[in-house]
Amino acid sequence: MRRVFAIVVMSMLSAAVASAQMKVAPKPAPGQSKPLAVPGARTANPANFPRISIADALNLYKAGKAVFIDVRSNEQFSYGHIRGAKSIPNSQLVQRFNEVPPGLTVITYCACSAEQSSGRGASALIAHGVKNVFALKGGWEDWKSSGNPTAVGPK
């Protein structure tokens, strides 16, 4: 009898641990019909994200086939950014992704030439099922120094 009781208790404990490890999709952001996160979303390795060259990004920019997301702070964005880019800091990226027009290539960028912050942003979006996401190689500084379209101010 004790053995049966121990087996039942162990089974219940295992089930409790397993359910505690399950992912729960976040609630949708205001105005968003469903959450961006999907059950069973894969976890992307932050060091392993797709990158896009400035030349390829510029071609998509000129063709109107890309949306640039500046993952820096709003203050940094106001000092200078890629013309037409959206300011969505990394900490808000998944929650605010519904602001990004659908059907475009998503290019994240930051000030870091190693794409650390933009890579984290790209990885987070990929982990939540977003396709066609890249981090800009060289980031904001390389884009600006190449003489590509820039703007200053909050928008």
Q: Tokens in use for 46?
A: 């932050």
Residue written as token pair 């205001």: 30
Please check the confidence at residue 29 and state whether its pLDDT lies above 50: no
Please check the confidence at residue 49 and state whether its pLDDT lies above 80: yes
pLDDT tens, residue by residue, 78-115: 999 999 999 999 999 989 988 888 899 999 999 987 88
Please check the confidence at residue 28 and state whether its pLDDT lies above 80: no
pTM here is: 0.70
Residue 102's nearest CA partner among 50, 140, 65, 128 is: 65
pLDDT tens, residue by residue, 113-153: 788 899 999 999 998 888 899 999 999 999 999 999 999 99
